Amino acid sequence: MFDYRFQWRVVWKHWPELLEAALLTLQITVLSVVFGLMIGMVLSVWRKSDNKILYWFTATWVALARNTPALLQIYLAFFGLGALGIHFSPYTAVLAAITFNNAGYLAEILRGGMDSISPSQRGAALGLGMKPLQMYVYVIFPQVLKAVFLPITNQIVWAMLGTSLGMIIGLQELTGMTTFLQSQTFRPFEFYLAAAVIYLIVCETILIFARLVAWRAFRW
């Protein structure tokens, strides 16, 4: 029944390409999380604002990002915006789409965290003469980020998994590179298994790093 011969040497031979692709995956993940977190913070603040336009803008962003597939968002960024004359490279399209997606989810996570912060903190900060921006930077967000740290790490892993969709529009990150190499060597199983192991390692690395950052940052 099982007369398949595994050939690992060919995977080993292409190790540098896989490693490079994994670094690209990591790079897109980190960038999309950093940008997504920044936009998500702004969105979560706007969500609380009295300005109707800002409120609806954020509500729409969050609803669109959360209720449509990430793949559709990548398609829209890559093919859809082309119809408007905006042409993204696969790299930019994936980064933009995953950032859009991330910002929506992170805004919702942060909003949940903000609801857990006592309103008197806000009053106290303003009463001490802080400007709203100072209040958010020095009082609100440090507490919010600590409260929702776990959901955020989940979201980082999600972002990493999401970058694999870049393969479909021809970006050679880890999944795309794997697909390319297996089509050259006709060794799909070995290559995809190797990719799965690399993803596992990247994922664990991200989680350990996030824990380190949290341990360093949240021990006031």
Determine if 153 is a binding residue for other proteins (CB under 8 A): no
Stretch that binds other proteins, among 33-41, 43-51, 68-76, 141-149 (CB under 8 A): 68-76
Between the CA of residue 91 and those of 75, 142, 163, what are the distances in Å? 13, 32, 10
Among 41, 45, 114, 167, binds other proteins (CB under 8 A): 167
Interface with other proteins (CB under 8 A), residue total: 40
| CA 111 to chain CA centroid, nearest Å | 17
Stretch that binds other proteins, among 14-22, 45-53, 70-78, 114-122 (CB under 8 A): 70-78
Determine if 157 is a binding residue for other proteins (CB under 8 A): yes
Encoded one letter per residue, x for contact with other proteins by CB under 8 A and - for no contact, window 4-23 reads x-------------------
Encoded one letter per residue, x for contact with other proteins by CB under 8 A and - for no contact, window 179-208 reads x--------xx--xx-xx--xx--xx----
Determine if 115 is a binding residue for other proteins (CB under 8 A): no
Among 31, 81, 126, 130, binds other proteins (CB under 8 A): 81
